[in-house]
Amino acid sequence: MAAIEARGLIKTFGSLRAVDGVSFQVERGETYGLLGPNGAGKTSIMRMLAGLSPISGGELFLSGLNVAEQPRAVRTRLGVVTQADGLDGELSVRQNLEVFGFLIGLSRREARARADEVLGFFRLRERGNAEVDELSGGMRRRLAIARALMGKPEVVVLDEPSTGLDPESRIRVWEELAELKRADVTLLMSTHYMDEAETLCDRIAIMHSGRILDEDTPPELIRRHAGSAALDLRPSGSSRADIRDALTNAGLRFREVGAVIRVTGGNGAPPVLPPLEGVQVSERAANLEDVFLALAGRGLQEEQP
């Protein structure tokens, strides 16, 4: 049985379809990433799973339990880290954990013991009596993740776990998430950071405008949509228009990002350039960003008939 399964999932806000018929499966122990820009529908999917948002259509299951029919049973098996952290500023760090533990059904003694465990795991034990406001951004995020683990959930949902963190805190959060994965916890996370998705996720769904454009392991997505290598062209001032024409005529996929024109291949092959003049070419390994630009670009074109 899949840890999470969505079948034709829909979320509407008035006339807006934030999630537009999305289907995917997350296997037990897997880390699955929803990758896409703001407004792609990632948060809506997670909020529906967490019972924070009513499902407008389709079906959503957690370990075979229908989220719409058994929301409470689902939430006893699920840990949720929302974008806002939702930490309780009126309580100490330790009280945040213990009160939440009591709320999910632990006895006070169990909650105290479990709080010790998760504080240790997240290396926050010395900060147990601190006020939440005294914590750094990274510590706050780790405390929010620690809180989601109070009930030893089978599945943890993380909405942009490292957004707003400095590089060192990010790495630390990543390490701790990797450790959870080793403990066989299923993780569903959203992110708009390509490096985060590539580092943490077994599989990724690339989302745009409420739809999944494609889904696979990061290397396979890169092979399929960006080829083995990508080329960055840096045209000199006057040659830009000519180069654009030449690339179009050659049937190549490209996208202008600032001063650079990124050219991607596809189906495992690197792009082959036509003869060009007045341009500096550098080759690099293709990455998820190339995949995203290729896919999202296509998605946008489909929207405009």
Partner 1 sequence: MSTATPVLAAETGLIRFRSVHAIWWRHLLALSRVWQVAMTWFVIEPVVVLLAVALGIGRLVGEMDAYGSYALFVAPGIVIGTAMFHAIFECSWSTFERIGQSYYETALTAPVTIPEIILAELAFAITRALISTVAVAGFAIAFGWIPLAALPGLLLVSVGVGLVFGGIGLLFAALAPSMHALSLVFTLVATPLYFFSGTFFPISVLPDWLQPVAWAAPLTPLVELARGVATGQLGVVHLYCGLYVMALAALLYPLAVVLMRRRLMK
Binding site for partner 1 (CB under 8 A): 13, 50-54, 69-73, 75-76, 78-80, 82, 84-91, 95, 99-100, 102-107, 110, 147-148, 151
Residue 86 CB, nearest approach to partner 1 (Å): 4
Residue (137 or 278) nearer to partner 1, CB: 137
Whole-number Å distance between alpha carbons of 148 and 222: 32
Residue (68 or 279) nearer to partner 1, CB: 68
Residue (11 or 170) nearer to partner 1, CB: 11
The end-to-end CA distance of the chain, in Å, is: 40
Residue 135 CB, nearest approach to partner 1 (Å): 15
Residue 207 CB, nearest approach to partner 1 (Å): 19
Residue 122 CB, nearest approach to partner 1 (Å): 17
Residue 286 CB, nearest approach to partner 1 (Å): 38
Whole-number Å distance between alpha carbons of 300 and 87: 37
Residue 157 CB, nearest approach to partner 1 (Å): 9
Residue (27 or 110) nearer to partner 1, CB: 110
Residue 169 CB, nearest approach to partner 1 (Å): 20
Residue (152 or 244) nearer to partner 1, CB: 152
Residue (81 or 204) nearer to partner 1, CB: 81
Residue (52 or 246) nearer to partner 1, CB: 52
